[in-house]
Structure 1
Amino acid sequence: MGIKGWHYRVLRSSNFKKMLALVPDGVITAVHEFIYYTETENDIELHFENGYQRKVDILVGADGNRSKVSQQAFGDPHLFHTGIRLWLAWCDYIPDIPPNYGVVSHDYQHQTSFFPMLHVGKSRFEWWVVEPSWEGKPVPEDPKAYLMEILEDWAQPMPRSLVATNFDRQIYCWEIYN
């Protein structure tokens, strides 16, 4: 397919930026919180928290696993916590690691992964840590120190990826639901 290397990743923000550049003005409005829709014979009327309404020809429910669109269409999805938390991050390119190098590794309670990616046209690395969790488990106040402790004895490049990551802008943590 013309992609260099055996593994290719890209950040959602990069994809969204490219997609949004192709959407005509006025098609997407991000200042309204969706509540429900009403179907008629000819269109779909969208209703928003601030009272705004809009008629459309088609509605795509691409608003996540707690989608108000899919809940209205299909009912309660009966989500449940899977018992895991994911820390997903990216870091700048680390010079002495080959750009087509990836790692998936485990210990008795964690999985870590490290893969090359492209972000704004530059080689970077994506990494993540999967850990045991439960609904309502507190998020550590200092994620970097917390993850450094988990990965301190881990094989490289995992510990180095944390050092190369800006923890103010390049990491996201979430609980996994099914």
Structure 2
Amino acid sequence: MTSPLTLDPDQARARLHDLTVIDVRTPGEYASGHLPGALNVPLDLMGRALPEIRHAADRGDVLVVCASGARSQSACTLLAEQGVRTATLAGGTHAWAAAGHGLDRPAAGDTRAGWSMERQVRFTAGALVLLGLLLGLLVHPAFQLLSAGVAGGLVFSALTDTCGMAVLLGKLPHNRPRPADLAATLATLRRDRSTP
């Protein structure tokens, strides 16, 4: 299997008009700023959206994006295993914004206030470490194992470039798409570009 095509932010911007852009971050992250015209299909829902993504790829090129490029690379690999060829954005939305390209954000009343998944993981890991240390001092030293477990999980996450905590946090309600939002995204992927 070949690795997915990678576009840098300038290449992607030049081709934005003829790309179907799929953002695989959580809805909260997507609401914090996404590439113009990007459609939100969280990474863990890619299997459910496969027929629509395949339809979009049959009509033209598909660019998959996330915050830094790691999740979009995973999504491209998953799609390639299903025979769907896609490209990924090098450096993700962070690189896009750093290159001076604008991000779209929903209207003020239409957004879920959201933290990036990286920020959610840092907050949760830090809170669990502090809780383990505090309970270890005040209740019983065995609670310090909670802190040790989180530290071990962070080391494992870094070594494997995976994050179990992000997977768990991604299942929380604020990180899940509303059913109507996902249905609208899938309908958009099914439409031809020429359809208004």
Greater helix content: 2
- Identify the TM-score tier after normalising by the shorter chain: under 0.3
**TM-score, normalisation: structure 1:** 0.21
Which protein shows a greater Rg?
1
Higher relative CO (Cα under 8 Å, sequence separation at least 6) belongs to: 2
**TM-score, normalisation: structure 2:** 0.20
